[in-house]
C-alpha cells in the first residue's frame, strides 16, 4: 500500500452535503481517501480546490 498527495478541482454544488459527496466520489477514483481539505474556492469559476492524501493498493 502506498500513499499519494493529490490535488483536485471540484465544481461547487448547491448544498454542503452534495459538495462533500462529490469530493469523496472524485477522490475515490484516485484511491482510498485518508483525509482531505478544501484549500481554495474560485467564485468566478464556481470551483473548489481540494488537497488530499489517498492510499493505493
- Residue 51 cell numbers, joined: 488537497
Selection from 26, 19, 30, 24 nearest residue 54 by Cα: 30
pLDDT at 6: 96
Q: What is the pTM of this model?
A: 0.87
pLDDT at 26: 95
Q: Return d(Cα 1, Cα 11) in angstroms, integer.
A: 29
Residues 13-57 have pLDDT tens digits of: 899 999 999 999 999 999 999 999 999 999 999 999 999 999 998
Q: Is 57 helix (H, G, I), strand (E, B) or coil?
A: coil
Domain ranges of the chain: 2-56
Amino acid at each position: 500500500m502506498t500513499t499519494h498527495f493529490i490535488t483536485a478541482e471540484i465544481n461547487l454544488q448547491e448544498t454542503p452535503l452534495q459538495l462533500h459527496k462529490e469530493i469523496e466520489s472524485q477522490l475515490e477514483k484516485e484511491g482510498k481517501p485518508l483525509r482531505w481539505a478544501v484549500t481554495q474556492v474560485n467564485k468566478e469559476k464556481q470551483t473548489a480546490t481540494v488537497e488530499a492524501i489517498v492510499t493505493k493498493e
